[in-house]
């Protein structure tokens, strides 16, 4: 099993839900921190039944149909009560951390659940499925979700036991004699807390119990007008949790997840008291998408910086149970300020999704945050950085995050202050440029191949970028350049074309990001080029120009005629934090 794939088993019974997670069993005492408030139209039930612990459906808040407590019944109706005192009896999902190492999902009834609840008025061999007419919350203060609900069905129910089915998805093909659960191809979770699991295909089975109670005028007995049940979920569930330990991604969100497999993952399946009939699996319906960001409904889920925090929010997908092969899981992340979207793919040869089980999938992102370098831009040889605590750098990035406009108050460096460039041939001791490679040392970056990695993701000042040039590690102490000449006294410009159609080596190489440069107060060319100062002035114009290293998708080059007024970071080698 992949290290990013961990299984949490959810039990179907009573007051304290037992969750098997890895090799440990723990009890859920309602200490979950994140809730998917599944929003449905209520079914009328009273508190007394338990559901398997798995994610359930909800609809968008603006489409919620509130219970109509004044609705007239045209024929007698009987209440079947689902108790919400127990996590195992809830249909909408609350996802969260149970303790430092365990995860769990609990469920609540929601306002459209009656549209998915059926009871068999016939026999096991000749079923007659009656859909609930109403749902009511029995929790006094509940509005959109409740731990207790009562479902009402028209007719008389005098038997001591009935079969109830909770059937998710579109019910247009269901009939009195046969029900179908419809697993959705496109599923939605419209905020940190709200999902649509019923619409996605969540489903469950329950056996009812007729209440024995003292009825006024009739005494103690099984009177047939009060029933309770325990609902056990029959779908399978996948929870997605990306995190990035390499740095913060403040403006980037987890907006979508996809699962693709050789076997069909969505469509209509016959549903009976035995559960989902996967032997009737549809053909060629092999990819399901979970959308976590919808226009007007939020940005998606934040990306945590560690695995523990990733458990605070998760995307939940509902799927038919079964064995899936050639599985490809895709996490899609987006920088909303720029509109840039990127995906991270995780292949799995086999994925077993068992009935009533939640399969967590963690995704450790390796997005390096180069933001520390944001503070290291300076004019060549200047005593202080380009922007300082007194003259703060602007952060109002343009639409595509390729740069930042110059501030209107013109607080960038000007001649006469400590941020202005040096006219010396070598950078003064102790300044930022003094840490850079000398020109003869820097020349050896051209001695080996360099590689363009189009898919390398990196963050910079809270924004996501893509693409970096992998260059060879070089050493210090060279008296001459790689051609045997002294470039400190001979103006030289050389380049090396990047290799882009081969996998780059890791050992002996590192990525240089394309972090642009400052020109007249404006940060420009981020994502297009990276400019890095070299510790040597231009031999032909030492007072105003200097050597610099430039990286682009086409390769790496060294130039002698860089304007010392530019704001660049020093070329010190690998700048990954």
pLDDT in tens, the chain (577 residues): 333 454 333 333 222 222 222 222 222 332 222 222 222 222 222 233 322 223 332 222 222 222 233 333 334 456 676 643 333 444 555 544 433 345 556 677 888 889 999 999 999 899 999 999 999 887 778 888 877 788 999 988 889 999 999 999 988 888 888 999 999 999 998 766 566 788 899 999 999 988 888 888 888 888 888 898 888 889 998 989 999 998 888 889 999 999 999 999 999 999 999 999 999 999 999 999 999 987 666 789 999 999 988 888 888 899 999 999 999 999 999 988 777 888 899 999 999 999 988 889 999 998 999 999 999 999 999 999 999 999 999 999 998 899 999 999 999 999 999 999 999 999 999 999 999 999 999 999 999 999 999 989 999 998 999 999 999 999 999 999 999 999 999 999 999 999 998 999 999 999 999 999 999 999 999 999 999 999 999 999 999 999 999 999 999 999 999 999 999 999 999 999 8
pLDDT at position 103, please?
57
HEC profile for 260-272? ECCCCCCEEEEEE
Task: Tell how far CA 225 is from the center of its chain.
Answer: 46
Tokens representing residue 342 in the block? 């990127």
Evaluate whether 56 touches 92 at the Cβ level (below 8 Å).
yes
Q: How far apart are CA 360 and CA 311, in angstroms?
A: 10
Q: Which of 260, 233, 284 is nearest to 351 (CA)?
A: 260
Which residues are CB-contacts of 573 (< 8 A; sequence separation ≥ 6)? Answer: 437, 473, 474, 510
Task: Tell how far CA 304 is from the center of its chain.
Answer: 9
Q: How far apart are CA 425 and CA 439, in angstroms?
A: 11
Q: How far apart are CA 87 and CA 137, in angstroms?
A: 16
Cα separation values, 532 from 213, 430, 557, Å: 83, 17, 11
Which residues are CB-contacts of 99 (< 8 A; sequence separation ≥ 6)? Answer: 26, 31
Strand 236-243 versus strand 357-364 pairing type:
parallel
Q: How far apart are CA 408 and CA 428, in angstroms?
A: 31
Q: What is the pTM of this model?
A: 0.75
Evaluate whether 461 touches 373 at the Cβ level (below 8 Å).
no
pLDDT at position 66, please?
27
pLDDT at position 152, please?
92
Cα separation values, 230 from 15, 47, 127, 444, 526, Å: 12, 10, 20, 72, 58
Evaluate whether 49 touches 228 at the Cβ level (below 8 Å).
yes
Q: How far apart are CA 493 and CA 490, in angstroms?
A: 10
Evaluate whether 211 touches 226 at the Cβ level (below 8 Å).
yes
In DSSP terms, 96 is beta-bridged to: 104
pLDDT at position 215, please?
84
Q: How far apart are CA 91 and CA 110, in angstroms?
A: 7
Largest Cα–Cα separation, the chain? 111
Angle subtended at Cα 114 by Cα 35 and Cα 164, rounded to the nearest 5 degrees = 100
pLDDT at position 48, please?
31
- DSSP secondary structure letters along 361-413: EEEE---EE-GGGGG--BSTT-SS-SS-SSSPPP----TTSS-BPPPTT--S-
pLDDT at position 62, please?
22
Q: How far apart are CA 185 and CA 288, in angstroms?
A: 5
Q: How far apart are CA 89 and CA 34, in angstroms?
A: 18
pLDDT at position 173, please?
83
Query: Residue 277 has what DSSP assignment?
Result: -
| Phi, psi dihedral angles at 417 (to 5 degrees) | -105, 175
Q: How far apart are CA 314 and CA 242, in angstroms?
A: 8
Cα separation values, 282 from 22, 128, 264, 271, 319, Å: 32, 25, 6, 14, 13
Q: How far apart are CA 346 and CA 44, in angstroms?
A: 43
Evaluate whether 237 touches 263 at the Cβ level (below 8 Å).
no
Q: How far apart are CA 117 and CA 109, in angstroms?
A: 11
Q: How far apart are CA 91 and CA 30, in angstroms?
A: 15
Query: Residue 418 has what DSSP assignment?
Result: T
């Amino acid at each position: 099993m992949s290290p990013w794939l961990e299984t949490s088993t959810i039990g179907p019974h009573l007051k304290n839900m037992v969750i098997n997670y890895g090799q440990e069993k723990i009890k859920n005492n309602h200490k979950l921190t994140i809730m998917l408030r599944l929003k449905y139209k209520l079914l009328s039930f009273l508190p007394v039944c338990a559901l398997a612990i798995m994610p359930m459906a909800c609809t968008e808040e603006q489409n919620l149909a509130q219970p109509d407590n004044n609705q007239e019944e045209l024929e007698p109706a009987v209440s079947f009560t689902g108790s919400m005192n127990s996590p195992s009896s809830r249909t909408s999902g609350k996802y969260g951390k149970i303790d430092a190492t365990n995860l769990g999902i609990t469920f609540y009834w929601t306002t459209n659940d009656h549209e998915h609840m059926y009871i068999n008025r016939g026999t096991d061999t000749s079923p007659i499925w009656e859909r609930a007419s109403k749902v009511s919350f029995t929790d006094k203060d509940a509005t959109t979700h409740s731990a207790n609900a009562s479902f009402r069905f028209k007719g008389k129910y005098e038997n001591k036991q009935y079969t109830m089915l909770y059937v998710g998805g579109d019910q247009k093909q269901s009939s009195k004699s046969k029900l179908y659960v419809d697993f959705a191809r496109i599923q939605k979770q419209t905020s940190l807390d709200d999902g649509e699991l019923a619409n996605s295909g969540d489903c469950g089975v329950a056996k009812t119990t007729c209440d024995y109670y003292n009825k006024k005028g009739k005494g103690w007995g099984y009177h047939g007008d009060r029933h309770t049940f325990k609902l056990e979920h029959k779908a399978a569930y996948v929870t997605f949790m990306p995190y990035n330990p390499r740095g913060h991604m403040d403006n980037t969100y987890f907006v979508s997840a996809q699962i693709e497999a050789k076997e069909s993952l969505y469509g209509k399946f016959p549903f009976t008291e035995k559960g989902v009939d996967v032997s009737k699996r549809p053909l060629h319906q092999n990819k399901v998408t979970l959308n976590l960001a919808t226009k007007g409904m939020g940005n998606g889920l934040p990306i945590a910086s560690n695995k523990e925090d990733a458990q605070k929010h998760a995307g939940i997908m509902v799927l038919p149970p079964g064995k899936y092969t050639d599985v490809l899981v895709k996490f899609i992340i987006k920088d909303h300020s720029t509109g840039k979207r990127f995906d991270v793919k995780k292949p799995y040869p086999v994925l077993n999704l068992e009935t009533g089980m939640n399969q967590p999938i963690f995704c450790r992102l390796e997005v390096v945050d180069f933001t520390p370098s944001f503070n290291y831009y300076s004019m060549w040889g200047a005593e202080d950085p380009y922007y300082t605590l007194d003259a703060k750098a602007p952060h109002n990035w343009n639409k595509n995050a390729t740069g930042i406009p110059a501030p209107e108050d013109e607080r960038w460096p000007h001649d006469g202050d400590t941020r202005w460039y040096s006219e010396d041939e070598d950078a003064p001791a102790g300044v930022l440029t003094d840490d850079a490679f000398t020109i003869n040392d820097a020349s050896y970056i051209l001695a080996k191949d360099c590689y363009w990695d189009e898919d390398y993701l990196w963050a910079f000042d809270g924004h996501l970028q893509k693409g970096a040039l992998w260059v060879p590690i070089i050493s210090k102490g060279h008296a001459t350049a790689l051609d045997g000449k002294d470039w400190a006294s001979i103006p030289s410009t050389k380049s090396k074309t990047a290799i882009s159609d081969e996998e780059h080596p890791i050992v002996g190489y590192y990525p240089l990001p394309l972090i642009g440069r400052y020109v007249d107060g404006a940060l420009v060319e981020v994502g297009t080029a990276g400019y890095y100062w070299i510790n040597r002035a231009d031999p032909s114009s030492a007072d105003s120009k200097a050597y610099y290293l430039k990286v682009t998708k086409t390769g790496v080059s060294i130039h002698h005629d860089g304007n010392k007024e530019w704001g660049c970071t020093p070329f010190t080698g690998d700048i990954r934090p």
